[in-house]
Structure 1
Amino acid sequence: MSRLFRDVEGGPRCPHGSVVCIGAFDGLHLGHRALVRHAVERARVLDVPAVALSFEPLPREFFAGNNPPPRLLSVRAKAEGLLELGADQVGLLRFNRRLAAMSAGDFVCEVLVRHLSVCEVWVGPDFRFGKGRAGDLALLQQMGRELAETGRGFEAGQIEPVELDGERVSSTRIRNALQAGDFATAQRLLGRSYAIGGRVVRGARLGRTLGYPTANLRFHGKTPALSGIYATRVHGVDDAALPAVSSLGTRPTVDGIEPLLETHLFDFDRDLYGRRIAIEFDAKLRDEQKFDDLPTLVAQMNRDAEQARAILMQHQSRATA
């Protein structure tokens, strides 16, 4: 049986019981990690599978229509991260009109009880679910008690908020830090450096003609949480991270529309098409801007590359001191 599922059709997926944690899990920050790890610990005690349950698209993306909010983590990275945290199975339920219209009570009965045979369900602070966000922890606990009379009861609980600097860790705090170029704060909230991963795709090859060949990552309809020009490091090519300068945005000088992450690796001339890499963000250099012509753009790219090299070298020296 696959460890990843997208719907709840068919018979019980966990016929002998499960411990389920539910959340958006965008970013997999310290709070998310605490929730998943607690569910995994409880699952090991009960000797049942640990299931991390989320949604794709995220509900806020579904309701936003053609103007989706910024996203911290790709679908693939979220699924892989949840499995790495110990989840035995990951559900990324297709959030569509049918699921959006499902009442909180039906969600409990159809998804948690019938399909996952839940023994315990764990959520984070301020968790809401079901049509109109009518469901909450109190409803979960009430239904768990009521269903006990039929032999399908379960326990429900909420983990304590994870705080940093006296404020709860949240995806919103991380997005704000990233947009401000505050990668140190984002790293503390995430528990790791912020990075964007994906498979290198072919672009228009304009960068190569300008003297700056790039490895390009697309976002497949998702909105990245930041934009601008950055000093970065590239993982997944060699054993060590490689220094680079990256542009994330719509490339207004060449009338681009789709967000694209373009990364120029310094002193590097190998074919990366089709390879999965991750771009770690180290420092923001400037905002994206439109230039009058390509020579002016190239002159700025030269300055960006020089600045990125200096910053990365300085940070590397501090790390090894």
Structure 2
Amino acid sequence: MSLGTGAFELPGPSGARCSGQPLAWRFAVRRYAAGAACTGRTCRQISNGISEDREGKVSGLRVVDGAVERDHGVVENPGVGGAWRSPLCQEGTLAPIVALGKFDSMHIGHRALAQAAATLGGTPWLISFSGMAKILGWQERLPIVPLCEKARVLASWSPFCGGLVPSMRYLPFEEIRGLSPEDFVRLLAEELGAKGIVAGQNYKFGYKASGDARLLEALGTQYGLQVKILDLVTSDEKVPLGEVSTTQVRKALDQGDMRHVARLLGRSYRLVSRIDGRHLASCRSVPCSAFLNQPPAEGEYTASIQVHSSQRPNFAAEENLAMGPLRMSVIFSADSMVLDGGSFRQLDGAEVVRLTADF
């Protein structure tokens, strides 16, 4: 995965190119090239902007992972929520072992990275990057795992990680996209306090994706880090799957092959919707506009349906009510998901609820 595109070839204070200047100067050059004030940013400032899976509120919206989840979708990177400071400042806290990747679908290959990180004697951190889609002009689409489900998935990986629950943290892509491979590894080692690094054999990093797994090992050694490079996962220990990837997951969803999706993810696929709880008892269909992640192809499926609710609209916080699960037939069309085979009791008061469908 590339961490940067585009070149910044402005001269430094003495005429040297940016690659030979201190990190703060390189950030100053990059901001100047973009027309911003030449204030400069250091590795320390970037690491202090890292965000994690915690909640905050900005203008009434919920901020998680540096992304905002609105009622019917996700807007990436409007600002960082939940500023993080290194846990190494806290006595008795294990140093992080960072696993590098996009972690968009949290499939069994991603789980293998977390599992490997847990073997290196620290706390597994899944490090990814916020704001990539917008900056790189990628097509906007629903995620595989919505923000409100990530903590649940990470907790389910605990048995694979020696009882540790991995955490997910995001670095702001805009701030690190111009870092050289060495600067990026230095950020992990010196500013985030990482003790080790885990990545897949095809991982690319640094300016113009100039770093590969071999360079990652060399730089890790240089900065005193343990480095573990993993082969790509191609099976679930029972069935050959080919190269496990998010692209494969999306393709299987598009084909309605939920068994294959479950094998790639290592768990049942969960579709999440946000609906008006005032009409829950009479709810027989859910509009596609309510989905928080990608639905399967049009067709009929059997799913376990459950309703989760709290007394607050921000229901992703501590949940105090769950109805179901009810085994139902669900029919997907171009504009809705129709429920057939059960009903829920009515809730008192007006509130937004989360409806999940596990396939």
Letter matched to residue 193 of structure 2: S
Inter-partner Cα distance in structure 2 for 1:159 and 1:217? 38
Inter-partner Cα distance in structure 1 for 2:171 and 2:129? 6
- Mapped contact 1:70–1:223 kept (Cα < 8 A): yes
Match of 1:255 in 2: none
Match of 1:73 among 145, 156, 173: 145
- Deviation of 1:39 after TM superposition, in Å, equals 1.2
- Deviation of 1:183 after TM superposition, in Å, equals 1.4
8-17 or 114-123: which moved more?
Answer: 8-17
Structure 1 residue 32 corresponds to structure 2 residue 110: yes
Inter-partner Cα distance in structure 2 for 1:225 and 1:155? 39
- Mapped contact 1:21–1:123 kept (Cα < 8 A): yes
- Mapped contact 2:130–2:170 kept (Cα < 8 A): yes
The 5-angstrom pairing of residues 146-161 of structure 1 reads 146-147=222-223, 153-161=224-232
Residue ranges of structure 1 left out of the alignment (5+ in a row): 148-152, 252-260, 282-321
Aligned length: 253
| TM-score of the two chains, using structure 1 as the length reference | 0.65
Letter matched to residue 129 of structure 2: F
Inter-partner Cα distance in structure 2 for 1:61 and 1:168? 27
Match of 1:280 in 2: 358
Change (3 A) 1:121 1:219: farther
Letter matched to residue 147 of structure 2: V
- Mapped contact 1:27–1:72 kept (Cα < 8 A): yes
Residue ranges of structure 2 left out of the alignment (5+ in a row): 1-50, 55-64, 66-79, 159-163, 308-321
| TM-score of the two chains, using structure 2 as the length reference | 0.59
Poorly superposed stretches of 4+, deviation over 6 Å: 7-10
- Mapped contact 1:242–1:265 kept (Cα < 8 A): no
Match of 2:345 among 264, 270, 278: 270
SS of the residue aligned with 1:127?
coil
Match of 2:180 in 1: 103
- Mapped contact 1:228–1:247 kept (Cα < 8 A): yes
Inter-partner Cα distance in structure 1 for 2:358 and 2:241? 27
- Mapped contact 1:234–1:244 kept (Cα < 8 A): no
Change (3 A) 1:96 1:34: closer
Identity, % of aligned positions: 21
Inter-partner Cα distance in structure 2 for 1:134 and 1:201? 45
Match of 2:258 in 1: 183
CA-atom RMSD in angstroms? 3.6
Letter matched to residue 342 of structure 2: D
Inter-partner Cα distance in structure 2 for 1:120 and 1:233? 40
- Mapped contact 1:234–1:277 kept (Cα < 8 A): yes
Structure 1 residue 13 corresponds to structure 2 residue 83: no
Inter-partner Cα distance in structure 1 for 2:84 and 2:324? 44
